Amino acid sequence: MPSSPGPLPQRPGKVLAVHLAYASRAAQRGRRPAHPSYFLKPTSSVVVGEGTVERPVGTELLGFEGEIALVIGEPARRVGLEDAWDHVAGVTAANDLGLYDLRAADKGSNVRSKGGDGFTPLGPAVLDARALDPAGLRVRTWVNGELVQEDTTERLLFPLAQIVADLSQHLTLETGDVILTGTPAGAGVVVPGDVVEVEVDVPGGPATGRLRTTVVQGEHGFDPALGSVPAADDVQREEAWGSREAAGLPSRELPAALRADLERVPTAALSGQLRKRGLNNVTVEGVRTNHPGHKLVGLARTLRFVPNREDLFASHGGGFNAQKRLFDSVGAGEVIVIEARGETGSGTLGDILAIRAHALGAAGIVTDGGVRDHDAVTAVGIPVYSRGAHPAVLGRKHVPWDTDVTIACGGTTVQPGDVVVGDADGVLVVPRAIVEEVVAAALAQEEEDAWIAGQVAAGHPVDGLFPLNAQWRARFEARTAGTDGED
């Protein structure tokens, strides 16, 4: 039997945390893990009860995550699922705070991003686990008095007992150890002056009381001479706030009506309208599609490769690198655009990454480099525009460097959020700010061109008809207005 829950230890032996655990959070993230995964938080991050947390100088993305914390009673080592809950002494509230500005520096370890002093508030009260149904708990979070998170353990991807049993397969859970069991949807960013409150309860039953943490502005930053410094980009802003809308970023989705118009207007018509507006360098040169007949329409997500240098590939090419991060986070209807400098001496993607992008609903991929596993990529079904096939792996020519920045692809500049359109004639990049007017003008021109083609097919000479002179234009306008207009 577990020991009776007492006050939380100021310094538990270890603090373990689950990455993704709630279905609502997984849906928000766009990925659903098959198994739980974990990270460690330093015990020096623990604060018991009400307190403050500093946002360091030079950071903007201090994220809160209301969670249910389990306090281990009897040590657990290789316990079964049916016995795991017996090793939990108590349940309390937790706030799994973290700096998204430091996530890139950590590359998944969370040591710096989640390990700061005060980044693990716990309390205030501990509920006796023996009196609780682990499937009947609720966690709620308030920011400045507004409820922003609410979910129950019924909607966990992995039951609490499974988390305990799984961890016990790998290490001994000791008395007083704390497990943070993941956060539901609704986590976001707080700034100095904000107050975060987290409570765990049984609806209509016992509750921990609200764990209150006030955010204050710190006086210290990070010395670049000593190590990595904070760096925030739009990917981290979206992750930290929970959505692009909450982060104040432009939507990555095109309105349905606009997408439909883009799908029926040829790139040649768009190119003509862009030229009229002084935009001539908007074609991704030298790429061809692996799916002729399929139209490509979407908003750009960008990926930049730099020329291979062995020391840089060692530091940036392995693990969850920039290439994998982008392919694992691309959204529905988005187009991955890759800067490969026109280098065709290696692949810039293969079938595994193509499968991942397709599964996430990406509209397509454009690269001015090569494609590995070309036939297998084609079989995936996602449109890919490239300079052809090559069997070599990425590291032969490229280092994956960064994402969601302005890049050059096929001789044209591409910015995140640009509209990318491709068909048999090639790939165009349309600035998002003018796409509506360009599409409307292109469709109007297509209607005019179709009428001209009909007149030419009927035997009229092109002189004066293409382009329309005043007489022919009057006939066209009369026809489109519903009057005869013919002699």
Quick check: is 393 in a domain? Answer: yes
Residues 292 and 424 occupy one common structural domain:
yes
Cα–Cα distance measured from residue 353 to residue 351, given in angstroms and rounded to the nearest whole number: 6
Residues 410 and 453 occupy one common structural domain:
no
Structural tokens at position 32 = 């659903």
Beta bridge partners of 296: 422
pLDDT for position 313: 93
pLDDT for position 476: 85
What is the Cα Rg of the chain in Å? 28
Cα–Cα distance measured from residue 184 to residue 67, given in angstroms and rounded to the nearest whole number: 8
pLDDT for position 486: 46
**How many other β-carbons are positioned within 10 Å of the β-carbon of residue 148?**
17
User: Smallest Cα–Cα separation from 208: which of 130, 134, 127, 149?
Assistant: 127
Cα–Cα distance measured from residue 293 to residue 385, given in angstroms and rounded to the nearest whole number: 13
Give the residue from 400, 417, 432 where a domain finishes: 432
Question: In this structure, what CATH number is given to the domain that contains residue 40?
Answer: 3.90.850.10
Give the residue from 179, 207, 241 where a domain finishes: 241
pLDDT for position 117: 95
The amino acid sitting at 257 is A
Cα–Cα distance measured from residue 79 to residue 141, given in angstroms and rounded to the nearest whole number: 32
Residues 235 and 292 occupy one common structural domain:
no
Quick check: is 185 in a domain? Answer: yes
Phi, psi (degrees; rounded to nearest 5) at 266: -70, 155
Domain count, the chain: 3
Question: In this structure, what CATH number is given to the domain that contains residue 299?
Answer: 3.50.30.40
pLDDT tens readout for residues 374-406: 999 999 999 999 999 999 998 899 999 999 899
Q: Which residues of the chain have pLDDT under 50?
A: 1-4, 484-487
Domain that holds residue 94: 15-241
Residues 303 and 325 occupy one common structural domain:
yes
Quick check: is 375 in a domain? Answer: yes
Residues 369 and 466 occupy one common structural domain:
no
Quick check: is 181 in a domain? Answer: yes
pLDDT for position 447: 86
Quick check: is 251 in a domain? Answer: no
Residues 399 and 417 occupy one common structural domain:
yes
Residues 449 and 427 occupy one common structural domain:
no
Residues 61 and 104 occupy one common structural domain:
yes
Residue entry with tokens 């083609």: 453
Structural tokens at position 289 = 């599609």
pLDDT for position 481: 65
**Three-class SS state of 83:** helix
Residues 272 and 342 occupy one common structural domain:
yes
Quick check: is 4 in a domain? Answer: no
Residues 417 and 469 occupy one common structural domain:
no
Structural tokens at position 106 = 């950590």
N-term to C-term CA, the chain: 99
Structural tokens at position 27 = 């849906």
- What pTM value is reported for the model? 0.61
pLDDT for position 17: 96
Structural tokens at position 327 = 């392919």
Quick check: is 1 in a domain? Answer: no
User: Which H helix or E strand runs over 93?
Assistant: strand 88-95
Quick check: is 250 in a domain? Answer: no
CB contact at 8 A, 293 and 203: no
DSSP one-letter string for 234-270: HHHHHHHHSSTTTTTPPPSS--HHHHHHHHHS-HHHH
Q: Across the chain, what does the average pLDDT equal?
A: 91
Residues 176 and 296 occupy one common structural domain:
no
pLDDT tens readout for residues 324-335: 989 998 989 999
Residues 367 and 468 occupy one common structural domain:
no
pLDDT for position 109: 83
Give the helix ranges, DSSP H, for 225-372: 234-241, 256-264, 267-276, 310-316, 322-327, 351-359
